[in-house]
Amino acid sequence: MLTVPESLEGWSLLHQMFRMSWTSLGQASHEERRHLADGLAEWLQQASGDDGSSIAVAMLGHKADLMLVHARRSFDALNQAQLDVARLPLAEVLEASTSYLSIVELGMYEMTAKIHEQLTAQGLAHGTDDYREAQKDAMQAQHGRVSGRLFAPFPPRRYVCFYPMDKRRGEIKNWYSTPFEKRAAMMRDHGQIGRLYAGDVTQIISGSIGLDDWEWGVDLFADDPLVFKKLIYEMRFDEASADYGEFGPFYTGLQFSPTEVAGWLEGRTPGLVSA
């Protein structure tokens, strides 16, 4: 019986949230603060290319002062990014508040059903070795078709919102015991709402089942933060969210350019400079 949707994976992601010791920073000289700023700015500029990149976000609220988001092609490379940050001069005045590990994911409910129909028509029985091998080949072909979405660069948009989420596994409502066709229909309706905001927000969905405390991470990028409120509010009314969505803490802030690190450490809101 068809129950598990296929997915395609891209960048490995690590979100790092930090609190800044502003007292220690204020006691440092202008030259010392410049040295701390130069270290992070230079590293952010170097950590950009086909093998991945990192961005900095000035956070709003008490949960964190700085969020660094790293996209790399492997967990090994993510670990190197984490080590690099820990060895920056700025690390002396940073305290980790939380982190999140995930992998960019593209859910394939409709494609899974279509591939299942095609393989069944070819006489392959679901669950057999031949079926699994043919399914693997079919998904690999899809991976090549959508690789641009799986390994896209971080959007150069000013405002960023990140939150983790689960699908409910309660006694009455359990996403994972709901029939495949019902789940596929709900995800299709859910996606249609997102497409209404396609020009206003860029969304990155990452899977974290078996990797972190929640099942998915969601990153939203926009030029107007009000879009986050409107999009998420509207989505709360669709069945997939209303009956099955459970949400973790939200982290919202301002993406800023590496060249703005020094100003941020001097107490000025950092900007996002157009390339």
Q: Please tell me the distance from the alpha carbon of residue 42 to that of residue 108, in angstroms, as a whole number.
A: 38
Exposure class string for 168-184: b at 16+ Cβ within 10 A, else e? eeeeeeebeebebeebb
Residues with catalytic roles: 163
Across the range 85-90, mean pLDDT stands at: 98
Residues 141-152 have pLDDT tens digits of 777 777 788 999
| Chain centre to alpha carbon of residue 183 | 22
The answer to whether residues 242 and 168 touch, using CB atoms and an 8 Å cutoff, is no
Instruction: Retrieve residue 72's tokens.
Output: 């790399």
Instruction: Retrieve residue 216's tokens.
Output: 């998915």
- pLDDT at position 60 is 98
1 pLDDT band, cuts 50/70/90, is low
2 pLDDT band, cuts 50/70/90, is low
Per-range mean pLDDT, top range of 125-129, 194-198, 260-264? 260-264
Lowest mean pLDDT among 2-6, 29-33, 80-84, 128-132: 2-6
The kind and range of the H/E element at 231 are: helix 226-235
Q: Please tell me the distance from the alpha carbon of residue 103 to that of residue 8, in angstroms, as a whole number.
A: 10
Q: pTM of the predicted model, to two decimals?
A: 0.91
275 pLDDT band, cuts 50/70/90, is low
Residues 156-184 have pLDDT tens digits of 999 999 999 999 999 899 999 999 889 98
Per the listing, tokens 């019986």 go with 1
Q: How many helices (H) and strands (E) does the chain have?
A: 9, 10
Lowest mean pLDDT among 87-101, 119-133, 182-196, 216-230: 119-133
